[in-house]
Amino acid sequence: MLGCLPCSKKNLGAPLQSRKGMLETLFRYRNMVRLSVGAMWMVALVGCTGLIDSGKDGLTPQQRNARAKWQQEALPVLRASCVTCHNGSRAGVGFLEGASDLDINDAVMKFDPPVVNLDAPGSSRILTKGLHDGPALTAAETSSLLEWIQAEKDAQASDPTNPVQVLATPPFSLQVCTSGLPDNALGTCPTNHVALSTLGDAGALVPGAEIAFTAQALSTGVYLTNLKLVAGTAGTYLEHPLFVSKPPDAPPYPDQIDRFNAVKMNLMANTTDQISGGTAAFDQFLVTNMVEIHFKTVKAFDPGTIGPVMQTGCRVLASFKTNAGPQMQAACASCHAGTASPGAKSAMDITGAAAADDATALLACNQVRTRINLTTTDQSGFYLAPNPGNGTMHPFKFATAALFTTFKNSVDIWVQAEKKAP
């Protein structure tokens, strides 16, 4: 008991200080609410010391399991399939650098942009990359890596010495667009405004900052368009927005592919920019449920970081010109190029999609590339919006499913090439 004196009853009742720990508690350990009072005190003892059931190495059982999974399952796979290119011999992709097994583990866990995602392990880039300059993982290799990542998630949740500040908006109700253009006079398509002004790290507030979007109901989820960050009067730097649905009679339900896990934005004061192309479809997010947005970091504009952190430009221009550009020109240019529909052009400008010269085509390719969902490509905005099988209110839909499939099959050649590109 003496080892637990610093953990007062007041501390035991305080909110969780780790977003990942909070989600872990909600999703994995919700049965704990049925524990007896005596059992809860035993759980509290474990949380206070962090050493119960730990060996002489000072690790929790979960941390020890993660280390074993790393050395016995994950590292052999990575050494067999990945280390030749990712050991530091190629600039910008050296997430397997290190002199020892644990050094390599440290490198892969801290690599930026992230290749391991503990909020949604199955969406980790190390698993979803597929065939690129290196081979695609086999089913057995993928399973071994996923088991290790899930063990790392458990290990992080078990570590009482490494809290992470919770940055989350208060729960809010979705205002649903049912018809017409955003913010029309009839009020049938309102814009959602989610304030960030009270979320800054360590009290560093971001006055006037907000996430804004239009929400539409789908049969199995929610479709967001015009999704953007409004920087406010001090500018805004943010990392890793995570949308979480909050059903009234079930545990919170985070975005299952955690699509924005690598997002970093750094906007100067009074500026606005789209978040990852401005569109997102969240499966199993009912429009009647409250929503929160969690962040890894929110603070004022950081002058030490110039421009967007993520590289989002077109990498495979030749494939775009051959496969995607002509399809985009035929199906989309009437609205997304020229002057007929300024709103559509502002959302995605594909002027020059069918241009022969590289410089003009590159501008269109850059625009479309930001709309690719690299985790789940079928969820890319330019597939969701015109698909006649979706309930989106996009003004253009292909007349038949067959025509949409023809469009998608051609564009997807380029999309998959972009996904595989370094």
Query: Tens digit of pLDDT for each residue in 92-148?
Result: 788 999 999 999 999 999 888 788 888 778 778 888 777 777 788 888 888 889 999
Percent of the chain with pLDDT strictly greater than 70: 82
**173 and 294, same domain (yes or no):** yes
Q: Using one digit for the tens of pLDDT, what is the confidence trace for 265-276?
A: 999 999 998 888
The region of weakest confidence among 69-78, 228-237, 256-265, 303-312 is 303-312
**19 and 155, same domain (yes or no):** yes
Asked whether residue 69 carries a pLDDT value surpassing 90, the answer given is yes
CA distances to 46, 230, 283 from 193, in Å: 41, 10, 21
| Residue 311 domain-assigned (yes or no) | no
The reported pLDDT for the residue numbered 309 is 44
* Residues spanned by the domain of 404: 317-420
**331 and 380, same domain (yes or no):** yes
Distance of CA 132 to the CA centre of its chain: 21
Q: Which of 117, 136, 164 is the last residue of a domain?
A: 164
The reported pLDDT for the residue numbered 340 is 72
Cα gap 299→409, rounded to integer Å = 41
Q: Which of 143, 164, 185 is the last residue of a domain?
A: 164
**70 and 54, same domain (yes or no):** yes
Q: Using one digit for the tens of pLDDT, what is the confidence trace for 328-356?
A: 999 999 999 877 777 788 778 899 899 99
How many structural domains does the chain have?
A: 3
- As to burial, measured by CB atoms within 10 angstroms (0-12 exposed, 13-18 middle, 19+ buried), residue 172 is middle
Q: Which of 266, 299, 332 is the last residue of a domain?
A: 299
**136 and 2, same domain (yes or no):** yes
* Type of residue numbered 33: V
| Residue 307 domain-assigned (yes or no) | no
The reported pLDDT for the residue numbered 419 is 84
**240 and 284, same domain (yes or no):** yes
**351 and 286, same domain (yes or no):** no
**409 and 263, same domain (yes or no):** no
The reported pLDDT for the residue numbered 256 is 81
| Residue 309 domain-assigned (yes or no) | no
Mean pLDDT of the chain: 80
**272 and 207, same domain (yes or no):** yes
DSSP state, residue 141: H
DSSP state, residue 190: P
Structure tokens at 179: 């018809």
The reported pLDDT for the residue numbered 2 is 39
The reported pLDDT for the residue numbered 10 is 35
Q: Using one digit for the tens of pLDDT, what is the confidence trace for 7-59?
A: 333 333 333 344 444 444 333 333 333 333 333 333 333 343 333 444 567 88
